[in-house]
Amino acid sequence: MLTALAITPYTATILIHADTARYHLETPVSWRLEGTAQRGVSHIVPVFIEDLEPDTDYVLVAGQQTVGFRTAPCAGLIEAADYGVCVDTPNNAMAFAAAVAAVPRGGTLRVPNGRLASGPVFLKSDMTLWLPEGAILSAISDRNGWPVLPAHDDSGRVIGTWEGLPAASFASPVTAIGCDNLTITGRGTLDGGGDRGDWWTWPKETRDGARRPRALFLAHCTQTILSGMTVRNSASWTVHPFCCDRLTAAALRIKNPADSPNTDGFDPESCMHVQVRGLHISVGDDCIAVKAGKRGTGDDPRVDHIAPTRHLTIANCLMEDGHGAVVMGSEMSGDITDVDITRCEFKGTDRGLRIKTRRGRGGHVARIAMDDVVMDSVGTALAVNAFYFCDADGKSATVQSRAPAPVDDTTPQISDITISNVQLRGVRHAAGAFLGLPEAPVCGLRLSNITVEYDATATAGDTLMACHLPPVSHAGFLHRFTEIDADAPLIHMLEDLIDVG
C-alpha cells in the first residue's frame, strides 16, 4: 500500500508499504513520478519528493502500486535571496525577518542554496518555509544579543520553557509562536549550531538569564507540517513542539553527536493529535521523548502550566544510539495518554520503550501500546521506572524509599501498557525491568508474543536509573510493584526485581 502524507505546495512524502514494513523495506522498491523526470529506488518506507508545482495533480508509481495526490496551493513564492539572504552575510536574521514579512497569506518562502548563517528566524501563520536540497540554515556561534523568550508572554501563555517548567530560554534558530497552518519542509538542513560556541559546555545551567535553545521550537501552533529536512547539532532538545495541536512530522532526519548533552531528538510536550512517521533519529539523549510538563515543588508548587499530551502516533521510524528510543517522561505531570508505537526499529539505544517518573510528579501515563517493533543491541528493552532519580532530591529517601508513601495528587500513576509482537535481539541487561511505587503499582501491563535473544558478550549494567538496584545482564522480565499479564511462553521469564543495599 502507498500512502500520500504531508502534502505541501512544493513537496510530498509518500510512504511505501507503511502497513507492513517498519522503517527499512524488505526489498528495494523502484518508484517514479508520472509526467516528470523524478524517479528512484527506495530502501526505506518514507520517500520525500520536492520541486513540485503547487495545486497540481500527481501520480506516483512504486512497484505495482500507484497513489495520486494533489499539491497544496500557494498564494505566492517569495525568494529569500531577494531580501538579502545570502551566504556572504555573517548574520542573516534581519534579512530573514524582512523575507518572512513579505510572504503573503498562504505563500511560501524559499531559502537559497548554500550555508546561510543566521540568528533566530521567527515564522508566522499561514506560510510555508521551504528549505530545498542544498540549503543549510546555520545558527551563528555568537550568542551575544541572541533573542530570549520570556517564561510568559503578555497574555500569560508560557513561551519560554525548560524541562517542563516555564523559564526564560534563548529563542531557537527557527521559532514559531502561536502559528496556525505552518509548514516547514524541504530536503535542506537546519543546523542548530550546538557544536559551535559554548552551548554544550553548560547543559544544566543558565547563562545571560536564559536556558539553552532548541534547534526548532514550536509553541501554541495548530495544523503544522514538518517534512523532509535534516535537523542537526542542536544546542539542547532538537525539535520541541510545545502545546501544539494537529502536528505531522514526516521523513525527518535528526542527528546529534552521541556525546552532546541533553540533545533529545523529538520532544512533543503537552501536544494533541501528533503523527510522527518515517523519522530517522540518532542523538545524544532520548530519540523521541514524550513530555507533559513538570509540577512545581517546594516554594514554587505551580501547576497552571501543565497540560496533557494525547493521541500520539509513532510509526515506521528508526531510532539509533540514544539513551532511549521512545520515552515517556520524566516530565509527565499533565498526563501522557493514548500513544501508539507501531512498526519501528530501535538500534543500539540504552533502553527501548521507556517510561520514567518519580514521587512528586503526579499525572498519569496510560493507554500506551507498542506493536510490531524490532530492537537490536538494546541495553534494557522495556523499562518502566517510578523511582527515576531526577532533580536535586532524586536520590533522597523521600523519593527512593520502597516503603509506601501517602497517595495524593503528586503520586504518579502508570496503567494500561500493552506490548505485543516485539523482537528483542542482542539484549545486554534485561528484556524488561518494571518498578512501580508500592503505594501506586503499575497496573494493566500486558506482554505478548515477545521473542528475546541475548548478547552473549554483555556485562552487567544498570537497568532503570533508580537507587538500590543491582547491575544485571541477560535477565528476563524483572518486576516489583507491578501487575503483569503475560502470555504462556513469557511466564517463565518473569523474575523478581530485588533491591540491594
Nearest to 472 by CA among 492, 491, 457, 458: 458
Catalytic residue selected from 191, 245, 267, 285: 285
User: Which three cell numbers, joined as nine digits, stand for 472?
Assistant: 544485571
User: Which three cell numbers, joined as nine digits, stand for 133?
Assistant: 536540497
Residue 43 designated active-site: no
CA 199 to chain centre: 20
User: Which three cell numbers, joined as nine digits, stand for 388?
Assistant: 527515576
**Contact in structure between 440 and 480 (CB atoms under 8 Å):** no
**CA gap 2, 15 in Å, rounded:** 6
| Residue 170: strand pairing partners | 148
Provide Rg for the chain, Cα atoms.
23
Residue 240 designated active-site: no
User: Which three cell numbers, joined as nine digits, stand for 490?
Assistant: 513469557
**CA gap 14, 291 in Å, rounded:** 28
| Residue 403: strand pairing partners | none
Q: How many CB atoms lie within 10 A of CB 1?
A: 10
Catalytic residue selected from 17, 220, 280, 323: 323
**Contact in structure between 345 and 315 (CB atoms under 8 Å):** no
**CA gap 418, 450 in Å, rounded:** 12
**CA gap 176, 174 in Å, rounded:** 7
**Contact in structure between 218 and 173 (CB atoms under 8 Å):** no
**Contact in structure between 472 and 443 (CB atoms under 8 Å):** no
Q: How many CB atoms lie within 10 A of CB 407?
A: 11
Helix (H, G, I), strand (E, B) or coil at 81: helix
Phi, psi of 491 (to 5 degrees): -55, -40
* Helix and strand counts by DSSP (H, E) for the chain: 3, 42
CA triplet 152, 154, 156: central angle to 5 degrees?
50
Phi, psi of 292 (to 5 degrees): -150, 35
Q: How many CB atoms lie within 10 A of CB 418?
A: 16
Catalytic residues: 285, 323
